Structure 1
Amino acid sequence: MQYLAKHYKKALVLTLPFLLAACGDDDTREVIVEVEVPAEIPDPVPVSYDVTVTNLTNGQPVSPPAVVLHSEGTLWEVGAVASVELERIAEVGDSADFLTLGDASAGGVGPITPGDSQTISVTINDITDANLTIAAMLGNTNDAFTGINSWSLANLEVGATYTTVSPAYDAGTEANTESAATVPGPAANGEGFSPSRDDTGFISMHPGVVSSDDGLTTSALTVEHKFDNPVIRIQITRTE
């Protein structure tokens, strides 16, 4: 009944005349009938953002970024165990499962090569204080990723822009051997996601690429694949 009370309003309708026969006399009376009329449901108000990600590295392709709007909690954080959804991004750049975790989401199209940018548009209805989480892989690594975690958009007005940068993180799900068999990016074309975990087991700052040039004998990477932080720039503009 509470649901009906919220979504319906009462209206008085026409007087209903009717004839009663009593003791041979005609008697016309008025009866008020209450009818429930559906209340108007307002159209949803879209709240939209353009998120531009720029690759700041020299030799690391950035996987199509996963952009997720959510109301509560965190989707990843330093010191925590990476979810399987994040592990798939960090090890192979697959964001399909991660994009299902929020109230609204959008994914990039194709990798972002060094120096290039990509803009992803995302819309959520009726929520102006959503949190924004972004995650993307550094392709020529075992399980390095970058992004932001649960940024509040509550104070971002239409037409306003936030700009920030992000370092590289280590998902802690795969050892940093840098081998040709385990790095999926174009430098090695190794395997992608592996369900087995053989590293620290928690998210941390990435120690960086060592490379074969600097003495890691298992590495298929060179000094060209090294990176400094930050590795991406993120620009968030509220468009409506």
Structure 2
Amino acid sequence: MKPLLLAIAMGAAFSAQAANIDVSITNATDGVYFTPLIVAAHSDDANLFQTGTPASEAVEAMAEGGDISGLEDLALSVGAAVSANPAEGILAPGETASTRLYTQHGDVLSIAAMLLPSNDAFIGVDSWKIPKKRGTYVINANGYDAGTEANDELAASVPNPPFLTFGTGGTGVDSDVANQAVHIHPGNLGDTNATGGISDFDSTKHRWLNPVAIITVTVY
């Protein structure tokens, strides 16, 4: 094969091994907020988090305080295509954030962000295999528990952003971490007692069940 034809053939082969994807993340809850999101496409031999294994320091920082810098550093260190904070801040209930990533053949998709209010809950997509075929795909994303902090649901134990209103005087929902590995979160319990009860979360706003996000992935 002549050099020019070889170069064209190699370029075509390379293009066939890569694709752009658009990722749209919709907050499907009624009164729970997402901290800045991290969206990463990476090889299937790496993970941002894994269900059934203890959370890394980077996952703990994200799940307890919304800090995604450690996960971003991890993703970049394994050559991932990364979109950090596509919502440019907090993603409120019902709102959607979108981003585009350039992916390689065989890549998987991972997504994470803390759920507010919570002790250590986060929206998670763990290494979802990106389809080879062009089209639009939908992921129903669950909320996970990092297993790093008891779910006491007390205002003193969680971030207190100005857009959230907490009760006071709660005695605490839970004081133990029964499962210290990343696992599906049971959801906030909350109560309707603004000056007592077991929780400082408002059950009419802050309670949630899975899934917590609807994610649309378009492969081009």
TM-score by length of 1: 0.70
Contact 2:131 2:219 in 1 (8 A): no
Deviation at 1:151, TM superposition (A): 1.1
What corresponds to 1:151 in structure 2? 128
- Please state how far the C-alpha of 1:68 moved relative to its aligned partner: 1.1
**Structure holding more helix per residue:** 2
Q: Distance in 2 between matches of 1:121 and 1:177?
A: 37
Larger RCO (CA within 8 A; separation ≥ 6): 2
**CA–CA separation in structure 1 for the residues paired with 2:38 and 2:150:** 23
Deviation string 1:1-46 (CA, Å, 9 cap, x unpaired) is xxxxxxxx9xxxxxxxxxxxxxxxxxxxxxxxxxxxxx97x77756
SS at match of 1:146: strand
Match among 112, 137, 143 for residue 162 of structure 1: 137
1:182 to 129, 152, 157: 157
Name 2:172's counterpart in structure 1.
none
- For the pair 1:114 / 2:87, whether they are aligned, the reply is no
Contact persistence 1:68–1:101 (CA under 8 A): no
Secondary structure at the aligned position of 2:58 is classed as helix
193, 205, 217: which one aligns with 2:184: 205
Corresponding residue of 1:85: 58
Asked if 1:133 corresponds to 2:110, the answer is yes
Alignment: residue pair count: 190
Q: Evaluate the alpha carbon distance shift between residue 238 and residue 97 of structure 1 in structure 2; reply closer, same or farther with a 3 A threshold.
A: same
Q: Output one character per residue of 1:121-167: Cα deviation in whole Å (capped at 9) or x when no partner.
A: 2224xx2221111111111101101121111114242xx11111112
Q: 1:110 to 1:156 in 2, by over 3 A?
A: farther
1:226 matched to which residue of 2? Answer: 207
The answer as to whether partners of 2:24 and 2:96 remain within 8 angstroms in 1 is yes
Kindly indicate whether the alpha-carbon contact (under 8 Å) linking 2:38 and 2:113 is maintained by their aligned counterparts in 1: yes
Deviations, residues 190-209 of structure 1 (Å, cap 9, x unaligned): xxxxxxxx733211111221
* AA aligned opposite 1:139: L
SS in 1 for 2:33: coil
Q: Which one is further off, 90-99 or 68-77? A: 68-77
Letter in 1 for 2:210: N
Question: How far, CA to CA, are the matches of 1:231 and 1:119 in structure 2?
Answer: 16
Q: Which has the larger radius of gyration?
A: 1
- Residue deviations 1:85-123 (CA, integer Å, cap 9, x gap): 111111111112112223221112211101111102222
| Structure 1 Cα separation of the partners of residues 165 and 157 of structure 2 | 8
Q: Aligned partners of 1:220, 1:119: CA distance in 2, in Å?
A: 32
* Counterpart-to-counterpart distance in 2, 1:120 and 1:112: 14
SS where residue 87 of structure 1 aligns? helix
- Paired with 2:148 and 2:199, the residues of 1 have a C-alpha distance of 18
Sequence identity (%)? 34
Which structure has the highest strand share of the two? 1
